[in-house]
Structure formats: structure tokens, C-alpha cells
Structure 1
Amino acid sequence: MQVRLSDQFWQPKVRQTALATIPYQWKALNDEIEGAEPSHAVENFRIAAGEQTGTFYGMVFQDSDVAKWIEAAAYSLRQYRNPQLEGVIDAVVDLMGRAQQPDGYLNTYYSVAEPDKRWTDFAFGHELYCAGHLIEAAVAYYESTGKRTFLDIMCRYADYIDRIMGPESERTHLYCGHEEIELALAKLYRTTQEERYLKLCRHFIEERGKQPSFLKDDPGFGFQFKDRWFELDYHQAHAPVREQETAEGHSVRAMYLYAAMADLAIAYGDDTLTAALRKLWDHVTSKRMYITGGLGSQEHGERFTLDYDLPNDTAYTETCASIGLVMLASRMLRLEMDSRFGDVMERVLYNGVLSGMSLDGTRYFYVNPLEVHPAVAQYRYDMQHVKTERVPWFGCACCPPNIARLLASLDTYFFTQDEAEIAMHLYGANESSFQVRGQKISLRTDTRYPWDGTIQVRVQVDAPTDCAIAFRIPAWCRQPSIQVNGEPVALDAIVTRGYARIRRTWTDGDEILLHLPMVVERIESNPKVHENAGKVALQYGPIVYCLEEADNGADLTDISLAEDAELVAEYREDLLGGTVVLTGEGLRSEEHSWRGELYRPVNRQKNGVRITAVPYAYWGNRQPGEMTVWIREK
């Protein structure tokens, strides 16, 4: 399968990631960005390799920043060949090879800062987590360039881990507090076909949650916190994975675990894992997910809390958690093609993921709140260290290279193929090709999605080819329609689990026209989400909108919408790089009518005011100010 994006929404972002974001992030990793928090990540490898003297600097998992950057750069090389960038990666790989210990171990923190404490802190030491990201980077670089050096380095590391950990009685029965190695081992298995790696992946997943848990005796357990939020459920270690029915703990860790469980279920055809994942998926998306696809409502522990506990102005919703949900959704689609997985993947990509990076690709959010009041946010930052304005880099910089690797590999999320069925999950102009029973079938997709719901697909084949092409019918679309060669298709007869399957013998020049009408919709939340009582959010197609102070002035919480107020969608070429905005009439209190009072008898007199809503993903790209997704309805 080959997919080349050519649309006007995603392709410029992918190109910018390759040509601007990745070079910028390399400078950040080398402490060359003025005003950015220092990284020291590359220098740590130089110290570990003996190239220079010094002390380790940064988080215990600082190596993973370099790993994710290499992975993003590797993906970018598939579409934008760059010998200079390849040379930079080769130099880093060579550096890693020299930093690797004779037994295969590779971790700069434990090689430089605490060489006598290797494998002593599984709760927060992140050794296997860092190993996982390095393995994923090595696989990506090998697949993009065919160069084996990095892959061989990481195979030596994986072989070393496999020698000391695993289900056998003579090995340690442990797992990492932060899941990631499991995903990497599944990828390494698919690349090398070495069965040991998949077996080790299964061991780490199936060992998790067994009681009594070794984590309770781990010196790092509880970290500096000793409270309910850092118990076993924080690590998803409170029960064996097949017995877990609710999403608990650190939201990124949870998503990485669930995605790895899906990899394992796919590899082994394990229906028990699939059944567990269905329950976890339903719980996440029906009780603990924001409308943007954000996950993890609490800063303390970066974690899930209680069902329907989805505060807006204190929402944590780490960018990495949204990325993890995309990874999970794409794997669920491989387990079973159901549009509820594709719908969430789309929701998260267009809203919860894109909000994590500025339009120019060089400033980032770690947290993604749904309501911001700058003075209050600054106070909370002073107290909680949560930034609500995009910044050049973070001391804990997991999110910037993570979003880069997702965007650089975005083409891999658009389609799946199962023998003689091709499924289109995401929509955007692209050229794609597939092998079906030895025949090549190419699809050329033209669309202005997500600003317009008309999608035209032209089929190119050398000879008539029998196969099915399936299209996701988004849950937000009320009146979809499909035509094949100008003839309407009865959707009732071909839609199963939200996908319209068109099976026929395709000939060269066949044309499919998918029409997904987009209208402005008001969305309400479950009444149990108390913060949103009496409020609505605005959505157009897959895009969630917000009000910003830049367009509507301050005191956004004073704005309300009349039930019958008309809202109009209009494309603005001159705003935020080109976007659809929503405009209409709102209501707000008379200016200066309060006269310094804190309370008064109810005054229902409101003035009409013109409001403008912009995509949530694009907020914070102008001057700082208030923002809100949920708007009171009068």
C-alpha cells in the first residue's frame, strides 16, 4: 500500500513538519533555540559515548526525545528525500552505537548519572520506555532507508532485555511502569520476523496487573507523591489486562498499553484481548473523553479521574494522550472495521492533536484546556506548572517530537487493506495504490475536506479487478449519499457498522462520488458532565469550534446563544492560514451595567452581539486571550 497526500489541509502540515518542524526540533534538542527550555538530550549521548565530559541533564527519559525525533525524521524521508537530514541521523546513530554498553544496554541516564542503579526503578525509571522509543525509531529508519546499523544496535538491546526478562523461571518477571516497550517489540517482530520479540511483548502485557505486584516493593513506587493518584492503577497494574474494564491512571500510559494489547490481539488472533479492549474503548469514549478527543482531566498524575469528570478550564488533556488515542483507534480498525473507531480517530486528529502545535510548527501545548482565562491560567501555572500558551520547548518535551512523528506518518492512517477489501477511514486528497490478487489498483481522491464534504474517487486499473472499497460514513453526517459512475447507490443495502462497502469488478476510469453534507451543529454533553450544564459546543463536519477573545472580546462566559440563532459557515482565506469560521448573533450583558457589583437581582436584558467561532485546533495562534469551547444557550 502506498499513499501520497495532496490535499490542502493535511499535506501542507506534513510538508511543514518535514521542512520546518523537524529541523527546528533538532535545534531544540541541541539547545539552539533562544528562549526555549534546555534539552541537553543529544549532549547526554555524547557524554555517554565518552566524546566529552559532563553530567547528565534533563528528565530520566530524556533519551526518548531524540528517539521520537529520529522516528519523525525517518518518516519524513519517505516523501521528502533529504541527504543532509539522513547524514544527521547517521551521525546520531553512530553516537548511540558508541554509547551502547558491551552487553547491549543503552540508556544515558543510567550510564552517566546512576550507573549502579540499572533496573532498580521500574515504576518511574523509564528504562524500558526509552528502549521502546529507540526501537520504534530504528524500525522507522530501516523501513525508510534500508540502513541496518540502527536496527542492529536496537536488536542487540532487545536481545539483552530478552535474556534477563521474560516468563521463564530464570528470568525476572517485571514490566515497565510506563508502557511503550510493548508497542516497539511488536513493531520489531513485524520487521525482523523474530518470534522472541513478540513473545517478550506478550510477557510484558500479560505480566502487568498480576498480584501481588512487584511495583509495591519498587524503590521508585509512588515517586515523590504518596497519595491515591499514584497507586497501582496509575500504572494500569491494578488488575491483569483482560480483567480491566475501566480506563484508569496516567492517560498516556493507558493508551500505549491498550494499543499494544491490540497489536498482540492482531498478531495472535486473541479474542480475549479484543473483548477487553472493546470494554476499555467504550469506557474511555463514553465517559472519560472530551469533545476534542482529549484524555486525562487531572494535572496531578496526568490521569483519568472519575466518570464524567471533564472540567474545561483545568482540563489537562496532554497532547501525547490524544496521539495515543489515535494509535489505539487505528489498531482497533484493524481488529474490526467499525466506524466508531474511525470517528474517534478523526475527531482526535482534527481537534485534540492539532491543537498541540502552532500553525507554524514551532510552538507547542503540553496541555489542551477547553476554556482559558489568562490571569487565572497564569496563577494556576505558578501553582501547578501547567502552561496555557504555546511555548518553544518544554523541559519535559515528550509532546513536540510525538506530534511530529504522528504528522510525518499520517499517510499510514488513511487506509487499511484486508485481502480484497480496501477501506478509506480518513478523507483528504491523495493518490494511493494497492495490490489486490496480484493486480494493482490505484485510487485518486479529490476533495476539500474537512471544509467541504464532497469526495470524488477515481479508480485506475490495468485490468478489471474484483474487490470491495469501503468508505466510513461519519457519525456527524446526517444525509450521506454515494454515486458510482453517476448512478445513486442505496446506502441501506451496503452500510455495515458505519462503512459503505461497494463490491464490484472495477474498470479503469470508474468514479465514486461520496457526498457528506456539512452543517453547523450544536452539541450538548451528557447531563452528568456538570460543567457543561446549559451549554453547547459548535461543530462543523469533524471540526470542533471555540470562541476566542481576539474575535469576540473578553468575558466570553457572558456570551450566550439564543435557541433559534442562525450560525453560518464561511471559508476565510485571510484568517489562520485559511479556515472555515462560524458566525452568527449572540447575546451578552450590557457593558458597564454591573457598576462594580458582585451580585444583583437578575437582569435578563441582553444585547445582541456578533460572534465568530474558529476551529479549536487553531486557538492560541494570535495574541493571548480568553478561549472557550462550551457556550451558554439561552
Structure 2
Amino acid sequence: MTDRKFHPRQHHHPLPLDQRAVSIQDEYWSSYVNLIKNTVIPYQWEALNDRVPDAEPSYAIRNFRIAAGLEEGEFGGFVFQDTDLHKWLEAVGYSLGTTPDPDLERVADEAIDLLASAQHEDGYLNTYFAIAEPNKRWTNLTDCHEMYTAGHLIEAAVAYYRGTGKTKLLDVARKLADHIDDRFGIEPGKIRGYDGHQEIELALVKLYEVTGEEKYLNLAGFLIDERGRNPSFLHEEWEKRGRTTHWAPGVVQKDPPALEYLQAHKPVREQEVATGHAVRAVYMYTAMADLALHKGDRELLSACRRLWRNMVNKQMYVTGSIGSTHHGEAFTFDYDLPNDTNYSETCASIGLIFFARRMLQAEVKGEYGDVMERALYNTVTAGIAGDGKHYFYVNPMEVWPAASEGNPGKRHVKAVRQKWYGCACCPPNVARLLSSLGQYVYTSGADTLYAHLYIGSEAKLQLAGRKVRVRLDSELPWKGKANLTIAEADGSGAFTLAARVPSWSKQTSFSLNGEPVTPEIRDGYAYLSRDWREGDVLAIELNMEPQRIYAHPNLRASAGRVSLQRGPLVYCFEETDNVAPLASLSLPADAVLRAVHDDWRDGVVCLETEGWRVTAPESQADDLYGTARPRLEKQPLRAVPYTLWGNRQPGEMLVWIREGYNREV
């Protein structure tokens, strides 16, 4: 039997800092954190209560009131509608952990009281099955997301406990987790199965971390290992239901559930290719990495590495988004990354960030930090408008509004952000990630502080037995300067600062207290060890030269095209700054890219250059096809950060622009 233990790393991998130990103080990111706290959380509370005019109803609070017996009515929304409230509570927990707010805490406590009053005596909690189908619990794990919904409740409970110290929601979560542990497993009389939508696995690890109860870690391990090892479970369940699905009740299906879509086609330890529903996949990979860390499981970590390499090197967009098709919100196959029909759900990039941070704990390598940064600075923040009240679910590489309206295959691609969604998983997901941003900036070991993201912040921790306060000052993403300052440090003794060297910075220099220094560069991180003293400053200078990014030749959708990047930001072309159709534009191979400040938003750096525009010859003014060559006209081009697109007048958008036609043609 294979020994899956690798004990040297089991208890010594770096850990994220406690959410209360990190405060964000950043010219760029503080605006997002404050937007979540001051606008998004209150707005989403209104949405959960169906008080946003002209927005799709949430039903979430109403469902809980009905389930608790406080009012009468029918269940509204999706079978997993409870998760909107759960994720909102998780965001609130993170926010309260860094910025106490008695009024917000009171509202959240009332919501928790409501949630607790809907819980059954045996621990079960799900408003759909309490109201709509009380006799069908645990009979359709493929479709009905019962464990997924429970997982989000558990995550909310852990965040709220860590942020406030209150245990009421944690008690609800433990009671629910105990119920699931009683019902599922390999023991006689238990259900030997797993949920169609992964999420609870990573949540159970969090519950183990705050309670120390190993049964939660073991339950997570069971659910991960049973998936694919027992693929017949989902088909047997389907047969027992008379070959029907939740989504088409009463309609007998010809084909059983697609196991690859559910990542259940083979044991997870043997999987090599990212497949199926993208959000489910990265939630599962996150849990796999968590379990590998806690259990010292070398085989599981190897599977994580394989899946990471496939996803990032062959199935990820340049913006750090994943999921190339709207059919099932899923991966398709290697190098299939269409620009105008991609899905790239905001939640999927958030899950990718979860996975990347766990891999950074397993092995500190720059590639994980690079992807975490790419997804955060581009896709995740593109998912929310500057007003905090409009959201993208889908994050396309290319938008033609007329096609979004008139082509059924492109109607999932929106040209403007929406107020809310009937399936509103993304808005509260953005809120919970950005309100917990401090957990992604750093990790620490016994004597090393790792800085993964250049986000201005202060961190309080112990290093080499010393109480230390480190301040990170950053001018990213507009300027390439950052400082790590030892603001406080008691006692003496050497410890290490390790700062990521981003792959986009072609030249990175360091200085210590104003003098050049050459740290050890290892796996994309710069390490500097010394007996640090209060007032010491490690200055980092990153190269912010605009760059052209080219796709692998096998990526057909972007062949002959180029995208632009400056620092961590990917850029795009909007109709507002250029001319339509954007498909008629091309960027000369020798055109100089100029970084310029824009006045439409504070501090924004745009890219300007000279390009070409293709127009129809006079002889073909009204003809669809012709034999005359198109005309070329000089055209100034302007690109803006992708994360900010869609905040002005609606119009076309393009990330990958055709390259060719030197300026002297």
C-alpha cells in the first residue's frame, strides 16, 4: 500500500494570518474594501429582502421566514437559494473582524436568529426541502446542492465566529455538520455518496480548524475520496428517481448524469485534466489541497499539481478566468478558449484564488501567487461596478452588444452589469472575497513572512519568537514601487522576509534602508534574512513597462492577435475610446505603447498607441463580399484596464486585438 504521508511538511507549512491581524491600507484596494463595507453589504441585504426596485427577486429572507413558521407561502428561487444569505453573512463576518460595526452586527445577529429558528431538531437546515419537498431530503444529491448549501453556511459560521467571537451560528453549523456526518460514510446504514456540487469539503476543513474536531476533517476526506471511486452512486440515485432530474420534474431522461461534468468520472487522485463545471472543480481542488496539507497526503498534492498545470497552462484566460462555455458553465478541452462566447464566471476565478492560496501554503512558488494576482486584479474586480450595485456573472474577452441581444448563443454575454441575478452566486461571492482580502496578502511560518500580493496593509504576527508589526506600502497597480517596513519588533533574532517577484516584472531591484541589496531568489520569491530592527525598510522596484502578450499557437481563437498588460493589469479596448467595429482595428507590430494618466477615474493609467482601421472599399459599400482589397486608415488606439470596462457608455469591448501592418505600410 502506498504511504501517503510526507511528515516534514505536515505541521510546518506557512499559514494565512488571522483576519484580525491584517488591516488593508491601500490607495487602490481600500476603495474596494470600503465599497464592500459601506455599499455592497447594505445593498445586498436589501436585495436579500427583495427591496431593490426592478431587480430579480432573491426570496432568501422570505424563504427562511416561511421555513421558520413566521409567515406562510411557497418557496421562491433556486433550490440552493439559501446560499445567498450564507455568503452575505460570511462577508459580514470578515468585515466585522476588521471594522466593528454595532448596527451591522445587530442586523446580522437577527438574520442568524432567523436562520437558527429554521433548523430542524436533527440538525438539518435547508429551506427548499423544509417548504417544497420535505420528504425528499438526500434523495437527489446530483442536482439539489444540499451539501453545497450546507457548506456555505459552515463557511459563514466560521467567518462570523472568527470576526465576532459569537458562537450561535457556529453551533448551528456544527449541528448541521454532525447531521451530515451521521448520514454519510462507509459504515452500514449510511449513504455512501457525495454532493453533485462540491463546496462542503473545503468548508468542513475550516470547521475542523476552529473546533479541532477531526471528524469534520475525516468527513471532508471521505467526500473527496468517494467521488470518482464510487461513480455508480450518482447513476444509481438517478435510477431510483425514475431517471428524472430536479430541473425537469416528471420528464424521463435518456442519459444518466454526465460524470465528467461532476468531476466523478475517476478517483480524484487519478484526475489529470480540469473538466466539467468550473466552479465545482476549483472548489474541489481547494479542498484537495487543504486535505493534502492537513493530512500530509503526498498523493493528493501530486494530483493538485497536475490539475493546476493543466488548468493554468491550457485552459485559463489571460485575465485569470476559467470556464470556456456557457453550456454547463464548464471547461471544454485544452486550448479551447473562445473570446466572444466564454463564460468565465466570477465565482470560478474566486475559486481559483482559493486554490492558488492553498497551493502557496503547500509550496511557496511564484506561479501560484502570479495566478492569484491575475484573477484578483482582473476578473474578480471586473465582476463589480464602481457603484457596488451592479454585477457581471459572465466575464467575456469580447463583447458585441448587438450579438448579445440577437444571437441566442451569446445572450449570456452582457454588455452592462446587472442589478442582481435570480441565481446570484457571484455578487455575494465577490463581497466575501474582498472583505477577507487580508487573508491572501500574506502567509507566515515560524520565522518567515511571505508577501504574496503587493497590497498596502499592516500585519501583526510573531516571527522567530518576536512580536512584529510589518507595514507594506504599495503604489500598484499604477506604479511599481513597494516597501516592506518593520514598524515594530521586540527583542532580537533573525527572521526572513520573502517577497514575490512577479513574472510580469522583467527587472526587479531591491534596496535595504536605501542601499542596494541582492536577496536570494528562489521559486519566484526574494528572500532576505537578518536580525530585523524597527525602522528597517526593504524597498522593491518593479518594472511596469507595457507588454504584449501572445497566446500559444494551439489557442486558435487568439491566433494572430495580441493582448496588452501593464503590471498586474490586463487591458482592453472599448468602443467609447475607439471606433466600432473593434474587429476592424489592428495594432502594428512595431507600435510604441505609451502609458498615460486618464482623468475619468483617479490614478488610472491607460495605454495609447497608433494603429490601423480596416474599411470597405468604395466599390463594396453595400456588398457583403467583393474582390477589392479593404482600405487601411490610420487610427489612434486607446486601451483601458479590463477590470474597469463597462463603467462608462455601453458598447463593444475587445481584449485580443489583431496584430499586423507595420506603421510604415
Pairing 1:138-287 to 2, within 5 Å after superposition: 138-219=157-238, 223=245, 231-287=258-314
CA contact (8 A) 1:60 1:126 kept: yes
Query: What CA distance in whole angstroms lies between the structure 2 residues aligned with 1:94 and 1:375?
Result: 47
Match of 1:557 in 2: 583
2:504 to 451, 476, 483: 476
For 2:357, the aligned partner's letter is: S
Match of 1:79 in 2: 98
Q: Distance in 1 between matches of 2:193 and 2:413?
A: 33
> Secondary structure of 2:207's partner?
helix
Q: Could you say if the C-alpha distance between residues 580 and 227 of structure 1 is closer, same or farther in structure 2, counting changes exceeding 3 Å? A: farther
Among 347, 350, 359, the residue aligned to 2:377 = 350
For residues 233-382 of structure 1, the aligned pairs below 5 Å read 233-380=260-407
Quick check: 1:312–1:531 contact (8 Å CA) kept in 2?
A: yes
Q: Give the deviation of 1:52 after TM superposition.
A: 0.2
1:448, CA displacement in angstroms? 1.1
Q: 1:465·1:507 contact (CA, 8 Å) conserved in 2?
A: no
- Which residue does 1:436 correspond to in 2? 463
TM-score (norm 1): 0.97
SS for the counterpart of 2:157 is helix
What is the Cα deviation at residue 625 of structure 1? 0.5
**Counterpart AA for 2:436:** S
Distance in 1, matches of 2:534 and 2:410, equals: 63
Displacement of 1:222 after TM fit?
A: 7.9
Deviation, 1:465, is: 3.3
Q: Tell me, what secondary structure is at the counterpart of 1:432?
A: strand
Residue identity opposite 1:489 in structure 2: V
Alignment of 1:594-609 (within 5 A): 594-601=620-627, 603=629, 605-609=631-635
Query: How far does the alpha carbon of each residue in 1:579-601 deviate from its partner, in whole angstroms, 9 at most, with x for none?
Result: 11001111112477441222233
Aligned residues: 631
Unaligned runs of 5+ in 1: none
Which of the numbers 601, 613, 626 marks the counterpart of 1:588?
613
Work out the CA distance in 1 between the residues paired with 2:446 and 2:477. 29
**How many Å apart are 1:437 and its aligned residue?**
3.1
Deviations 1:531-582 (A, max 9, x none): 111100000011000000011121001110111111111222x224541100
> C-alpha displacement at 1:386, in angstroms?
4.8
Report 1:107-118 matches (<5 A). 107-118=126-137
Q: Which residue of structure 1 lines up, in the alignment, with residue 5 of structure 2?
A: none
Structure 1 residue 516 and structure 2 residue 542: aligned? yes
Conserved? CA contact 1:465–1:505, under 8 Å: yes
Letter in 2 for 1:275: S
Aligned to 1:103: 122
Deviation, structure 1 residue 229: 11
Q: Name which of 385, 399, 402 aligns with 2:429.
A: 402
In the TM superposition, residue 603 of structure 1 has moved relative to its aligned partner by 2.7
Going from structure 1 to structure 2, the CA distance change for 1:350 and 1:213 (only over 3 Å counts) comes to same
CA offsets per residue over residues 511-543 of structure 1, 9 Å max, x none? 111111111111110111111111000000110
In 2, Cα distance between the equivalents of 1:463 and 1:222?
A: 67
1:327-363, Cα deviation, whole Å (9 max, x unpaired): 0001100000000000000000011111111111110
SS in 1 for 2:185: coil
Q: Which consecutive unaligned segments of at least 5 residues does structure 2 have? A: 1-16, 661-665
Residue 222 to residue 268, structure 1, CA distance change in 2 (3 Å): farther
- The match for 2:418 is 391
CA distance in 2, matches of 1:323, 1:452: 25
Instruction: Give, in angstroms, the shift of residue 389 of structure 1.
Output: 2.1
Shift of 1:141: 0.6
Query: What percent identity do the matched residue pairs reach?
Result: 49
CA deviation vs aligned residue, 1:79-132 (integer Å, no higher than 9, x gap) = 222111111111111111111111110000000000011101010111000000
1:449 aligns with 2:476: yes
How far apart are the structure 1 equivalents of 2:154 and 2:463? Answer: 31
Tell me the C-alpha RMSD between the 2 structures. 1.7
Q: Quote the Cα distance in structure 1 between the aligned partners of 2:647 and 2:414.
A: 15
Q: Offset of 1:623 from its aligned partner? A: 1.5
Change (3 A) 1:603 1:235: same
Q: Structure 2 CA distance, aligned partners of 1:35 and 1:237?
A: 40
CA contact (8 A) 1:463 1:507 kept: no
Report the TM-score when normalising by structure 2.
0.92
Task: Give the aligned residue type for 2:546.
Answer: V
Cα gap change, 1:382 to 1:528, in 2 (>3 Å): closer
User: Which secondary structure does the structure 2 equivalent of 1:169 belong to?
Assistant: coil
Distance across 1 between alignment mates of 2:331 and 2:303 = 18
Residue 63 (structure 2) aligned to one of 44, 50, 60: 44
Q: Distance in 2 between matches of 1:606 and 1:217?
A: 62
Please say if residues 21 and 362 of structure 1, whose CA atoms lie closer than 8 Å, have aligned partners that are also in contact: yes
Which stretch has the larger CA shift, 375-384 or 115-124?
375-384
Q: Which residue of 1 aligns with 2:592?
A: 566
> In 2, Cα distance between the equivalents of 1:370 and 1:37?
26
Change in Cα spacing, 1:474 to 1:282, as seen in structure 2 (3 Å) is: same
Any idea what the Cα deviations from partners look like across 1:284-311, whole Å, max 9, x if unmatched? 0011000011111111111000110000
Task: Verify the 8 A CA contact 1:297 1:311 in the aligned structure 2.
Answer: yes
Structure-to-structure mapping, 1:515-554, within 5 angstroms: 515-554=541-580
Q: 1:383 to 1:518 in 2, by over 3 A?
A: closer
Residue identity in the other structure for 1:323: I
Structure 2 letter corresponding to 1:587? W
